[in-house]
Amino acid sequence: MIKRTLVLAAAVSIFSMPVKAQNFGLERPLSTVEVPEVSPAAPDLSSLSAEYAEFFSALNSYSNTAFMAPQGSPEAMQASAAGQYLRGRVEELGARIKALGGSVPSVPATRGASFSWRVSSELNDVFGFGGPAGRSAAPGVEIRAGYCRINFVKEGVPFLVQSDRFLKKGEVIITFDDGPGPLTEEVSAAMKANNAPSVFFVLGSKLNAAGKARVKAEAADGNFPGVHGYWHATENGKPLTAYSTAKILDQLGGVSDSIKSATGAKPVFFRPPYGIITPDALKALSSDLGLVPVGWTIDTLDWSTKDPEALFEKTVSMIKQRGKGIILMHDIHPQSRTAAKRLAAWLAENGYKVVSPERLAEAYRGE
């Protein structure tokens, strides 16, 4: 990098002698033009710790917002999407700190929503949240009346909004996202043991030999592996709206094929990462790949806590309040694994019925 800078500096000095800056259309004399570094230097522990604290504070704040806002409201959907993304970033930063021999800083819980510029601009880049202020949301698009629709939040981000009108009181459907991982088989076996067939929305990037074995186990347990994405949803964590519909079809078609090669059956269900997808892409996935879209109506926000007891209690209170619903959890977090196992037993003991995910396909197809 130093060599490159010197070469550039030399080139600049040669040209700056005989010609004036304005000949190049530059606004400043060449001598003041900074030569950008080729790539940023590896961050040290203290800057990583500062970054961790910023992202952790924002994660806390979005968790609070997501819990306070009514389920399914634009505020809740945005906070949940941002929170899921931030949870991933916090974990990634924590791993980098540990890899450098440091320890993860303990960040005091804060109230209110003041984010660092770094966090705000990153979220804006990833999701487009914080876009044109005051723009009114475009009207939503009905995908299937009584089943699901796409709603646009005021920045124009399209969210899949699920209905559970087709469920009777006391009926629930359980779903897990972002696996398969090392905890998946335990969760899958617990669902089988409690007669609670569930959907596991998987990521194609996790379907190596071990991942395929886990997906195979899900299907053998009577669960339903579904398509979530290849990445979540791009390699950098951006939602599927970063891709063209053709690219989405190509990539998710590959995930569908990987699942089929593991289980012998084509997956039926699809859930967009963060619940974000355009109506066009959703319709194409349905017509070209035969995938039934699935959102959720009870977001457990299981990424927002590390405490399985608190997660279980909150989930139970949400289910009691709504009386039924499509429950969203993630089979990659230890707290979710523990809470989900308790939940499956609790539902059976408290008169709830975990209905087969096939009901989703029937409702979508109007059967």
Cβ closer to Zn ion: 177 or 218?
177
Contact present, 27 and 55 (Cβ < 8 Å): no
Q: How far apart are CA 326 and CA 225, in angstroms?
A: 16
Of 197 and 275, which has the nearer Cβ to Zn ion?
A: 275
> Using CA atoms, how far apart are residues 152 and 141, in angstroms rounded to an integer?
9
Residue with the CB atom nearest Zn ion in the bound state: 177
Binding site for Zn ion (CB under 5 A): 177-178, 273
Is the CB of 85 or the CB of 364 nearer to Zn ion? 85
Q: How far apart are CA 53 and CA 107, in angstroms?
A: 6
Q: Minimum Å distance from CB 232 to Zn ion?
A: 5
CB of 206 to Zn ion, least distance (A): 11
Q: Which CB sits closer to Zn ion, 53 or 218?
A: 218
Q: Tell me the three state secondary structure of residue 227.
A: strand
HSE-CB at 269 with a 13 A cutoff on CA atoms is: 27
Q: Return the number of other C-beta atoms located less than 10 Å from residue 126's C-beta.
A: 20
Of how many residues is the chain composed? Answer: 367
Rounded to a whole number of angstroms, the minimum distance from the CB of residue 205 to Zn ion is 12
Residues 6+ apart with CB under 8 A from 47: none
C-beta of 53 vs 123, nearer to Zn ion: 123
Structure tokens at 360: 């989703």
162 neighbors 326 (Cβ within 8 angstroms)? yes
Question: Which residue's CB is nearer to Zn ion, number 56 or number 296?
Answer: 296
